Structures are given as structure tokens and as C-alpha cells.
Structure 1
Amino acid sequence: MFTIAIHGGAGSATHANTSAQQEADYLKGLDEALHAGYEILAKGGTALDAVERSVMALEDIPLFNAGRGAVFTSDEKHEMDAAVMCGKTLRAGAVSAISNIKNPVQLARTVMDKSENVLLTGIGAIEFARKHQLPFEDDTYYFTEKRKQELLQAKEQSSELNTGKGTVGAVALDTSGNLAVATSTGGLTNKKYGRVGDSPIIGSGTYANNQTCAVSCTGDGEYLMRLVAAYDISCYMEYRQLGLQEACMALIDKLTALGGEGGLIAMDKHGHVQLVFNCESMLRAWKNHHGEGETKIWQ
């Protein structure tokens, strides 16, 4: 038995700003990324390898706000965050405020596997990446006209646009019964002061525990951090004995009550999947060992 689910962000796509061609491109990208991780699970590989591979695939597609498609900061740079977590060991790795790393999720995995730390930031994280010979890219690799226009719009409005809801993530259960999660993001358009959201914060945007679930969040990061959202779902399951669906909906209700928008993908130790959100869209896909699954954008 194995299952994988991925997301490409909640709230970033609206019917008003998404053409039929863009919708088709999103669905194609999601299918490609889902297949990348699914193939690993189908061959008996680990959930950790599967979620890392799916998120790397999403990072390589300019459509999504992670890796190559990361949004611009206020000073026209890219500051990316990522995290991974193993449900069996509770080991985790995360990076924040990094630039020019081709696949931030790969660096997060390296932090978990090759260091005694959980979270590395900025220049130190980049030095760590060089030490372990991870691939780098120059600034032109991350440039897309769409992201530049989003930045100009945000500067005109003097705001940090939540186009950063294009965070990507994956959760998986492998044939050994282990859960894992990976999340990656480019943050908010026009973000300032080295802002970091929920994605690399273990327990907020990213969490996995074999006893309960694996969760990757997307949306308004400040609200998700305040709720310790991913861990909150695990706590509902562990301490209140709620099922996965009830636990996820309880979190979404809390998010809505605070005034936040977003969503999450979650999976329990039985391979059950929840893909829930309280906004117009969440780019998402899942598939299990029977071949059952779906790829969708809208509510």
C-alpha cells in the first residue's frame, strides 16, 4: 500500500486571472510532479525520496511559486524556503531566506541527512549547500515576466501580494508504512525585511509523524504560524482521537475564524488523503497504489 498527494498552492489561481491554457498548464505540471514521486513509491522507494522528488519537480516548473518560479522580493531578488520531515524518526531539515539554490527542498533534505541541525538560514545555508556541492543557478534562471509584473503591481499598491500562496508541497505513505512531507516556497511578492513564512517552520507549515499524519500547508503563512497548523492537526488526531478529515476541517475552521485564507494536504498512516482549503482554488493531485486519484484546481 502506498499513496502520494501534492499541492501547488492555495488561493493563487482565480477564475478571473486563469485562462484555459494556464489551467491546462497547471494540470499538466501537477501530473508530472505527482508521477515523479509516485514512480518512486511504486518501485518500493521511501516516502522521503518520493516527496522530495515531487517537490523538486514542482520547483523546476516556473508556474509554481517555489524554486524557478519563486516570486520577487521588494529588492527584486528571490528568497526561498523549504522543509522536509520524516514521520518514522521525526527528523527534519529546513532552510529559509536562501537564494540561487536550484532546488531548495534538496538543500532541506541535505540539512536533515548531513547535519545535526533542523533549520539553516541565509548565507550560512548557502555555504552549507556549497560544501555539499548542490546545484546553483544565477538570477536569470528565476526570471519570469509574470513574476516581474506581479512585483510591479505590488509596488504600485504598496503591498505584499499573496501570490505567495503558490507554495508547493507533497505528502506520502510508502510500502513500509512510513509517512513523509516536503514543502517549498518563494514567499510573498514584494516581501521585505527577510520575511519568512510557515513553510520552513516545523509544525507550522510542515509536519509528519507515523503515529498520526503528514501535513503540508499553503496560504496565509502568518496565520498558519500562529495556529501551528500542521502540528495542530496531528494533535487533534493524537490527543482528541479525531479522524483525519475531522482534524483537517477543525484547522480550516480555525484559519477561517482568524481571517486567514489557505489550505493543506494531509495523509494518515492508512493512506487516507485530505486536500482541503477555504479559498477559490488549491492546485492539487493525489494517487494511491490502486491508481485511484485526481488532479484538480477549483473547489
Structure 2
Amino acid sequence: MVVVHGGAGDVPEASRAAHAEGCRVAAAEGLRVLLETGSALEAAVRAVEVLEDDSKYNAGTGACLTEAGTIELDASVMEGTTMRGGAVCALPPFRNPIRIARAVLEEGRHVLYASEGASRFAIAHGFAPADPETMITAKARQRLDAVLAGRAERGWAGGTVGAVACDREGRVAAATSTGGMVGKRVGRVGDSPILGAGTFADDESGAASATGQGEAIHRFGLTRYACDLLRAGLTAQQAADVSIERFGARVSGSGGLIVVDGRGEIGIARNTATMSFGVAREGEDAGAGH
């Protein structure tokens, strides 16, 4: 089972079907990898990789820009069996930061690399830097100009992307990737690369990926909170609903959450106008919504 999200916010009505379809395609590809490899981690990573390559979303190609007009990317992965994780933040342009986060997990020396250190790690492990012009879109430049001129808010509707997966043995994993906030200060790091905030996985409870206001998700520890509710006996949907309700009430947070438990039961919740998502289960056609 694979569930993905394409970011919480308020995607314009005319674009909602396309955002949902992108999530459906990513979830289906994640399930294909899950059935082929048996790895929940590889499935979650592959699903996010598909979304990073889709410029509709704020991750990888098409990611939003800092106030200096540059790309800085955040991504993380976590697997639930040993609770290993890997993450990068404030990463300069590389095509698929989620793959670099996966390499951090596999190497195992550290969990999180930042900025130039993340870039050096990536190059040392065979990843090639990208030409920024191949990853920066006209839409991202226009959005930055509007934000800096005070004509738009810094959020990016349909932004951060994430995936959770559960294999046939009940092993879970989560992955999340983002460009962050439009016009953010250089060096700002959101919740997505922080385990327990934007991404969390533990076979004893479940896995979750979050999207929304990064500073609020940091403070609340949204994904760990949801998984603690799973551990306490709530269903996946109950855990998602309660987490988003408390997130909004306690820190005035705005965002969304996808959750899966070890039985493959899912939860999807948001307190924003939209959060595109896709769901793929073995033996069923992949579905999507917003």
C-alpha cells in the first residue's frame, strides 16, 4: 500500500484535477516498486521522486525560490523497522533530493546534512549537481516576484510532496520533499527534513508525512504526534483527524497529513482548502482526490 500527498493549501479549482492525477500516478508507481522489490522504503522514495520531477509541485524541479532567487531543497526518508533516517536541507539544485536523503540513510554515519555539506555528500556518493536553470521554472520566478512585491502570500498551494508505504509484512516507511516557502531567507529550513516533524516511521506504530506551515509543524512535531496516537490504539484515520485538529488548536497550524499503520490502514486529513493525494493498493486501481 502506498499513499502520497502533493501539498496542502488552496489549489485553484481549474488545477485540482491535474494535481490529483499527478498524485495518482506517483502512488501507482510507488506500488509498482513495492510489489517488485518488497521494500516500503524504496516505494516511498520512488513515489516522491516522481513528484519531484513534476513541476506542478514545490519539490525538485519547479521548487519555489528563496528571496535571493535561488533553489534550496529539503528532503528526508525514514524506515520503521530500525527507525533509520536520512535527510538533507538547504541543498542547492540537485535533480532528486529524496534520493540523496536515501543515500544518507544507507551510509548511516549521520542523519542530516545541510547546505554545502549536503552538496559535498551528494557529489561524493555519485549525484551530479543540476544546472539551476533546468530546475527553476517561469512560474517559480513569477511567484517570487509577486511575493517580494507584496502581491501574494509566501505559501505555495500544492507544494510539499510526501509518501508513506506499508509492505505485506507490516513494515512501514515515509518520505517527504519540498522547496520550502516562497521568498524564504537563504538558509531557512522547514519541517520536511526533520524526523518527527515532517516525516516519521516506526513499525511499532506507523508512518506519516506532513505538509503545511513548516514553522508550526516544527513546533508541534506533527508526524510523531500522529504516530504516537497510532501507538495508543487510534485508527489511522482517527490519528490523522485528531492530529490535525490539535495542530490547529494548539499552534494555529495550517496543513495536512497522510498516515499508514502496519495493517495498511490509511488516514488522510487537512485543515486547508485542498491537499491532493493518491492511494494505491495491491489488486485495486489507484485512486486520487484533493
Structures share fold, TM-score greater than 0.5: yes
Partner of 1:268: 261
Partner of 1:62: 55
Aligned partner of residue 100 in structure 1, secondary structure = coil
Query: Which residues of 2 match residues 75-86 of structure 1 at below 5 A?
Result: 75-86=68-79
Q: Distance in 2 between matches of 1:102 and 1:259?
A: 34
Q: Is the 8 A contact 2:230 2:261 kept in 1?
A: no
Question: TM-score normalized by structure 2?
Answer: 0.95
Q: Distance in 1 between matches of 2:203 and 2:283?
A: 22
Amino acid paired to 1:128: F
Q: Distance in 1 between matches of 2:17 and 2:226?
A: 32
Structure 1 window deviating more from structure 2 (127-136 vs 276-285): it is 127-136
Partner of 1:248: 240
Partner of 2:220: 227
Q: Is the 8 A contact 2:2 2:280 kept in 1?
A: yes
Partner residue of 1:155 out of 148, 151, 167: 148
Amino acid paired to 1:8: G
Amino acid paired to 2:248: T
Partner of 1:6: 4
Q: Distance in 2 between matches of 1:229 and 1:23?
A: 25
Deviations 1:25-50 (CA, angstroms, capped at 9, x unpaired): 32332222112211012224200110
Question: Judging changes above 3 Å, is the alpha-carbon distance between structure 1 residues 187 and 283 closer, same or farther for their aligned structure 2 residues?
Answer: same
Aligned pairs, number: 289
Q: Is the 8 A contact 1:164 1:186 kept in 2?
A: no
Q: Distance in 1 between matches of 2:37 and 2:185?
A: 43
Q: Is the 8 A contact 1:169 1:182 kept in 2?
A: yes
Q: Is the 8 A contact 2:23 2:278 kept in 1?
A: yes
Amino acid paired to 1:200: P
Amino acid paired to 1:181: A
Q: Distance in 2 between matches of 1:253 and 1:222?
A: 17
Deviations 1:226-248 (CA, angstroms, capped at 9, x unpaired): 1111011111222x332222222
Q: Distance in 2 between matches of 1:32 and 1:54?
A: 8
Partner residue of 1:213 out of 202, 206, 210: 206
Partner of 2:117: 124
Amino acid paired to 1:14: P
Q: Distance in 1 between matches of 2:24 and 2:211?
A: 19
Deviations 1:13-34 (CA, angstroms, capped at 9, x unpaired): 133xxx2xx3343233222211
Question: Judging changes above 3 Å, is the alpha-carbon distance between structure 1 residues 135 and 164 closer, same or farther for their aligned structure 2 residues?
Answer: farther
In the alignment, does 2:27 pair up with 1:29?
A: no
Query: Which residues of 2 match residues 103-118 of structure 1 at below 5 A?
Result: 103-118=96-111
Aligned partner of residue 267 in structure 1, secondary structure = strand
Q: Distance in 2 between matches of 1:170 and 1:135?
A: 24
Q: Is the 8 A contact 1:12 1:166 kept in 2?
A: no
Partner residue of 1:286 out of 230, 255, 279: 279
Q: Is the 8 A contact 1:214 1:268 kept in 2?
A: yes
Q: Distance in 1 between matches of 2:209 and 2:77?
A: 10
Amino acid paired to 1:242: L
Question: Judging changes above 3 Å, is the alpha-carbon distance between structure 1 residues 31 and 180 closer, same or farther for their aligned structure 2 residues?
Answer: same
- Consecutive unaligned residues of structure 1, counting only runs of 5 or more, are none
Partner of 1:139: 132
Cα drift, residue 66 of structure 1: 0.2
Q: Distance in 1 between matches of 2:238 and 2:38?
A: 30
In the alignment, does 2:34 pair up with 1:41?
A: yes
Cα drift, residue 261 of structure 1: 1.0
Deviations 1:113-150 (CA, angstroms, capped at 9, x unpaired): 01311000010110010101113211111121111111
Deviations 1:82-119 (CA, angstroms, capped at 9, x unpaired): 00001111000000000121100000000010131100
Partner residue of 1:237 out of 226, 230, 236: 230
Amino acid paired to 1:191: K
Q: Is the 8 A contact 1:160 1:191 kept in 2?
A: no
Question: TM-score normalized by structure 1?
Answer: 0.92
User: Identity rate of aligned residues, in percent?
Assistant: 36
Q: Distance in 2 between matches of 1:175 and 1:242?
A: 21
Q: CA RMSD in A?
A: 1.6
Question: Judging changes above 3 Å, is the alpha-carbon distance between structure 1 residues 268 and 292 closer, same or farther for their aligned structure 2 residues?
Answer: farther
Structure 1 window deviating more from structure 2 (144-153 vs 183-192): it is 144-153
Cα drift, residue 254 of structure 1: 1.4
Q: Distance in 1 between matches of 2:58 and 2:132?
A: 15
Aligned partner of residue 236 in structure 1, secondary structure = helix
